[in-house]
Amino acid sequence: MTAIIECRRVERTYTQGAVAVPALRGIDLTIGRGDFATLAGPSGSGKTTLLSVIGGLDRPTAGEILIEGASIAAMDGAQLAELRLRKIGFVFQSYSLIPVLSALENVEFILRLLGLPRAVRLARARETLHEVGLAGLEDRRPARLSGGQQQRVAVARALAPRPAIVLADEPTANLDSGNAGELIALMQQLNAASGTTFLIATHDARVIARSRRHIEMTDGRITLDERASPQAA
């Protein structure tokens, strides 16, 4: 499988007063194109930090990260923003939807940043909302959607630009069992249909059980990296 994400001896250290606090300690990790992987570990293990440095939201203290073979270390702020816009979709547990915009407008907004014509933006936004099971709810604002529906809008927004990678941070944390199962099934379907690479940080055993690859972190280090059996996948 061709590598799409490569982390080489990645470290991230934060400073609290005069104290250096290591969040990542020499991470070596390769994620293949089209993979569907979960990243687990206790709070403070470094999962969110690792997603942040992979997605260019934060910079590592040391080491190198490559996205589709290109090192992001030399990229300036504008180049990183362009990378995130065109290559990487983000799904957060807080949904992060714009409350005054409808579901359609929330998805269309990111396509506007890509400079697509309005007719193209609207058509793709509607198509993507249909893909995530929200046909007929395009005009509803977030306050009129359930938690599961809001998270589906967030997934649609992440997928609308047709990114190569989706990074999801605890996407099922605020969902009940039924909605969580439906969301992960949806992500699996989209992964199979489009080949989009998913890396999902989660505590949810149901999500882990349905991944094809499971990675665990403890104290900023990777302590387990295994492939699921064909039956589990």
- Domains, the chain, with CATH or none: 3-227 (3.40.50.300)
pLDDT tens per residue across all 233 residues of the chain: 799 999 999 999 999 888 999 999 999 999 999 999 999 999 899 999 999 999 999 999 999 999 999 999 889 999 999 999 999 999 988 888 999 999 999 999 999 999 999 999 999 999 999 988 899 999 999 999 998 899 899 999 998 999 999 999 999 888 888 888 888 888 898 899 989 999 999 988 889 998 999 999 999 999 999 987 644 44
Q: Which two tokens stand for residue 67?
A: 């996205």
Exposure of 16 by Cβ count < 10 A (0-12 exposed, 13-18 middle, 19+ buried)? exposed
Query: In whole angstroms, what separates CA 71 from the centre of its chain?
Result: 19
**Cβ neighbours around 14 below 10 Å, total:** 12
Res 229: pLDDT:
63
The Cα–Cα gap between 115 and 93 comes to 27
Res 177: pLDDT:
84
Q: Which helix (H) or strand (E) holds 223?
A: strand 221-227
Res 176: pLDDT:
84
